[in-house]
Amino acid sequence: MHRKTTEILNFFSQINAIPRCSGNEAGVAKWLIGWAEKEGFDVQWDSVDNLVIRVPASLGFENAPAVVLQGHMDMVCEKTPGSNHDFSKDPIPLVYEGDWVTADGTSLGADNGIALAIAMAIATSPEVQHPPLELLFTVDEETGLNGAKKIEPGFFSGKIFLNIDSEKEGIFTVGCAGGKNIRITLPLESQPSDERQRPIRITVSGLRGGHSGIDIHRQRASANVLLTRMLQRLRKGLDIRLAAFKGGTVHNAIARDAEAIVLVWDESVDRLVESVAAFEREVRLEYDPTEPMLEISAAVEDPLSAASGVATHHATGNAVRLMTALPHGVAGMSRQMPELVETSCNLATVRLSLSRLEILTSLRSASPSRLVELSDKILSIAELAGATVKIDSEYAPWPQDPDSPLLKRCREVYVQLFGREPEIEVIHAGLECAVIGDIVKGMDMISFGPDMENPHSPDERLNIPSIEKIWAFCKALLESYKPI
């Protein structure tokens, strides 16, 4: 392993020792402030703990334009059902598997901890000759770019902006989709459970999941969608009552697991179990070979207490109809770039309690008008069901600038280093460039990063050789700004 790669992974390991799920970045922010002060760098933070660490220019670069290296401190905290990991206190050790780094049963947090580690290594390396640097580390990116939205003009000064939050080395990202979340709340009428009704736990598990922007077109199953399909099928032949539904974890991950508890009359238990087994066989054929570990099971539970409430027949039907009607997946492809998803929706999380059903659906689009169209469709479905809605985490797309001087420079440096042209892309995921470029005018921005697979899932892994290539590229790019 290259010496610099080892140094970067050492920084990353220290970052991963600190819990940093979205909304819990105070610990890692404090650690970064301590590191910056120890190195003698000026550090500033705002009201939500976004940090900017100022690194003086190398000798001869004092008059070069300031360059911003940007990443986010938080991570998506996902784990396998069998994992006992506590994201509020447990470190995430790095597990090495050949050319890859992963974690044990949890998401790795390379999205975006590796950006912090690369920036820290650049800032402290005597081998890198660079302009004035501003390391901009934001909070709460994964829940809707919320930290970036709080940045005030003047918090940093640089206009050359390097976002290290892309997941394929050799690709420069120059634009991204906009998005919003819609939270749907449906009131549910409940009634006491009947002792002649038997609770059945229906579980969907073993799905691959993935990033709801990057992976939404890969034909992966959503546990929320499959469980809803199962419930809709059961309703057609059986009198079922919903007692619970829990599926998905965060807005930007495709749901990997979901479970519901339904009540049926004793004489219908065998028919329900048989229906679930038949549905599993059908769905396995649908998703072969995309979802090799898919499982759908039904287990008879102990009777509920007489005081336990369940949704009424009408409320159960209304809840299942609402979930069935909500869109999920690709809603449209780009007309300008036919291989790019333009608009999509992720049926992200579902929670059913005694008195209400709560659904979080996440929308993305490169087209503001198509985003409005999809949003209006979901709002109409919710209104027809008698639900209330709340929209949050809205952000505009990051439009491509084909005349970007930064893009031209990056391409030239990349070709000189590696002897081939980099790919240029616009992505369907959201990047902080969209928000920051809207707040701070006149930014010249690009996004890149090392190879990463399956972010936002326990299968997340980071390619080690690609870290060395990103290091070499950053070093050469920064050195290209030396005044003549």
For residue range 175-192, list pLDDT tens digits in order: 999 999 999 999 999 998
Percent above pLDDT 90 for the chain: 92
Extents of the domains making up the chain: 3-177+397-479, 180-395
Question: 298 vs 67, 177, 200, 354, 450, CA distance in Å?
Answer: 56, 39, 6, 21, 42
Per-residue pLDDT reduced to its tens digit, 9-40: 999 999 999 999 999 999 999 999 999 999 99
pLDDT classification of 466: cutoffs 50, 70, 90: very high
- Cα dihedral value 410, 469, 108, 209, nearest 10: 60
pLDDT classification of 308: cutoffs 50, 70, 90: confident
Please give the CATH number for the structural domain made up of 3-177+397-479.
3.40.630.10
pLDDT reported for residue 162: 98
pLDDT classification of 196: cutoffs 50, 70, 90: confident
pLDDT classification of 395: cutoffs 50, 70, 90: very high
Per-residue pLDDT reduced to its tens digit, 94-103: 999 999 999 9
pLDDT reported for residue 260: 97
Gyration radius (Cα) of the chain, Å: 24
**Of 394, 393, 329, 378, which Cα lies nearest the Cα of 186?**
378
pLDDT reported for residue 43: 98
Question: What pTM value is reported for the model?
Answer: 0.85
* Structure tokens belonging to residue 165: 């939050």
Per-residue pLDDT reduced to its tens digit, 255-307: 999 999 999 999 999 999 999 999 999 999 999 999 999 999 999 998 876 55
- Could you confirm whether 74 is annotated as catalytic? yes
Q: Which of 25, 111, 134, 141 is catalytic?
A: 141
Q: Which of 49, 74, 169, 425 is catalytic?
A: 74
Arithmetic mean of pLDDT over the chain: 95
Tell me how far apart the alpha carbons of residues 227 and 234 are, in angstroms, rounded to a whole number: 11
Tell me how far apart the alpha carbons of residues 234 and 316 are, in angstroms, rounded to a whole number: 11
Tell me how far apart the alpha carbons of residues 174 and 178 are, in angstroms, rounded to a whole number: 14
Whether domain 180-395 has CATH 3.30.70.360: the reply is yes
Question: 213 vs 30, 176, 201, 368, CA distance in Å?
Answer: 31, 10, 31, 16
pLDDT classification of 456: cutoffs 50, 70, 90: confident
Would you call 314 helix, strand, or coil by DSSP?
A: helix
Percent above pLDDT 70 for the chain: 99
Per-residue pLDDT reduced to its tens digit, 111-165: 999 999 999 999 999 999 999 999 999 999 998 899 999 999 999 999 999 999 9
Which letter, b or e, does each residue of 13-48 get, where b requires 16 or more Cβ atoms within 10 Å of its Cβ? bbbbebbbbbebbeebbebbbebbeeeebebebeeb
Q: DSSP code of 76?
A: -
Select the more confidently predicted residue: 306 or 388: 388
